[in-house]
Structure 1
Amino acid sequence: MIEEAVAAAFRDEWGQVVATLIRVTGDWDLAEECAQDAFATALERWPRDGIPDRPGAWLTTTARNRAIDRLRREAVGAAKLKEVAAMTYEPTPADDSGALDDDALPDDAVPDDRLRLMFTCCHPALSPEARVALTLRTLAGLSTAEIASAFLVSEQTMARRLGRAKQKIRNAAIPYRVPPAHLLPERTPAVLAVLYLLFNEGYSASAGADLVRRSLSAEAIRLARVLATLMPDEPEAFGLLALMLFHEARSDGRLTTSGELVPLEEQDRSRWDRVRIAEAEALLEGALRRRDPGPYQIQAAIAACHAVAEQAGDTDWAQIAGLYDQLYRIAPTPVVALNRAVAIGMAEGPEAGLLLVEDLAASGALADYHLLAATRADLLRRAGRHSEAVTAYREALTQAGTDGERSFLQRRIREVSA
């Protein structure tokens, strides 16, 4: 029971503990290390003293005290020690060049330390990949391996990337705050990318026994709501929130009772959350009225096509294929190309989709990505090319990262082999 309570506290409180410690110490590595020590201390003390009424406050206090001890041992200046002990650190109102900026948002305008941390991670001095990876590591507590899987790179590559990002923040003295209003637009795409990757890691975990990690997707939705409130004139913030809600509305139908993945066409649509779908439709409609469509609004429109179809056979695949054409023009990534191939395969026939998938496979852009092999297998199955489909399903099985995905692929192999 204690281990479960600590695990739950980690899911719920890690980002807040780390974000608070970064704010009061200014040291990213120290914040992570002291947060880890606090959770280790909880495993030692909670069995003896009981689970505290407010686990997050207990963990933050414990981590803060550990930071004080560390700073004292390292003989940091007395002024810094006093700041940490009092936890009243206020970031310097400087712009990204270091000059004073009276337009900076006041500290109380930011409703959550985690959002402040997110914007700090998304500073333009960092590479786009580093911005997203660093936020996922510090804010969500994802392991280096999990983030590497999300980026389709090796764990060693991701570890080096995270280390360079932290060093860049230290060397450049990047301020820990939400930037002034005139700098928000250049930071927003990276912040949105962070939220969507965080949501995806919760909605469809990259590795482990659990295919779905609800706490992560819920945290992404919560932060997306905060961001939309902070930036009411940014249609992509509302588009992303709508996209998340469309996906989350289908969560109860995505898995069997044993945790196996249920493909979209086989899901019981009566289990979809119609309240969430209605909210998502309203958010998307409001965003599209601004006539500035971006990738998240287009993806939300694609999700809406699935949400409004009462049965799988009612899905307007021609419209979805057209939306993917539009999305690929503004975001020509390999994953978008793969999803576009699926839509075209459903709209025009599996052989049309297979041609695109084969070209994508030949490019090597998605090597070792299990969904490429799984998509090819599914199109081969639909085309009646069963022996080839079994081979592709087996390839996907060797690359899948979660037990639920592997179980689904094994079922497909049995079905097609029969």
Structure 2
Amino acid sequence: MSDSTPETEPTVDAPEQASVAPSQTPPPERQVTTRGQQALRDIMGGSVVISVLAVLLALVVGAVLIALTDPGVQKAAGYFFARPTDTFQAIWTAVGGAYTSLFQGAIFNTGAFTFATGIQPLMNTLSAATPLIFGGLGIALAFRIGLFNIGGQGQILIGGALAGWVAWSFPMPFPWALIVAIVAGVVGGAVWAGIVGWLKAQTGAHEVIVTIMLNYVAFYLISFLLRTPGALQAPGSNNPKSPAIPHAAQLPALFGVRYTVTWAFVLAIAAAFAYWWLMNRSNLGFRFRAVGENPSAARTAGIGVERMYIYGMSIAGGFVGLAGVNQVLATTPGGFSSGFDAGLGFDAITVALLGRSRPLGVFIAGLLFGALKSGGYLMQAANDIPIDIVLIVQSLIVLFIAAPPLVRAIFGLPKPGTAPRPRRPATAAATKEA
């Protein structure tokens, strides 16, 4: 029997075994999110907050442009390193003065001696917002069906021209003359937009191309009729202008002749309510929304998608036609020319986008753009700021609304419907350091 014992491998302590074993990253901690926290994340990343922040960002960029183009700021920037406070003071004066004038021209004139005079800017804002609300509702309705209606200009022209022609061709007492003229304007806009829906349903023609072409057709058609005696041209006149609207067919002032706002604003509120009821409480609105979400699924469920295109575009054109009614019966009762649409058809697209195609959103967006339009003139006159700054602000609002991920990235907002990122345990970092 041999004395020698077999060699055995040295034993390793447990801590050393742990160091030799391959490192494994511990799983991340599961972060529990309550319903309240998830709801808060959805609200902060939702469309309402995005829209508000888009307006805020546009105003900030507008402030930068005002500061860069202001002569006082440019002069103070020439000796910035000698007296930097002068530059900041000039920036504050330029931007503050511009936005103060914007407020005073759109909401309330703080320098007025009486309250009645002070609210004159607010009345102007309501007056400017009224056709934007009508047009925005029509564009928004088309959006909800999955159609992009760029034919607001043509629908406004046809609706307004037909309302004016009925008003002076069929004299009636008030209020029947006004009611018949309004109905004629709605029918005119509905028929003009219904052509687009019919072509979309029957031939598959793209609504963007068709609406753009119909804008040209409507403009040159109204221009031709305004130069044709016996059509829309005022009798005995050589100018391309229509006859004056009879007093019985004019939209009366809402708060007296001192202010520009008319009963069309009340009609805009009623139109927004009608839009809400149509889309949220009626069977036809349900079919519109189903087609807008998924036309193939709607067709499988037995919904006539082609009919919905025709109905939807016709109703959308009726809403936009009300903007033409406002332009003829309230804004230009002395007679209209071929440019009475005033670019409202394209502004309505911006309003519909900002309002997320919802009735309350469109209404508020119309008020906002009406305020920008009304206050921009005082901002230009009082501070010598180009009116183009206001147009840039409007364009930037659309840009930011069209890019929600950009707004969320700037403000660090979460995406709706997503859970927060799981947190790594602190031991993982400690293990790496060891």
The structure where helix makes up a greater share of residues is 1
TM above 0.5: no
Q: What is the TM-score normalised by the length of structure 2?
A: 0.28
**Whose Rg is larger?**
2
Task: With a CA cutoff of 8 Å and minimum separation of 6, indicate the structure with the bigger relative contact order.
Answer: 2
For normalisation by structure 1, the TM-score amounts to 0.28
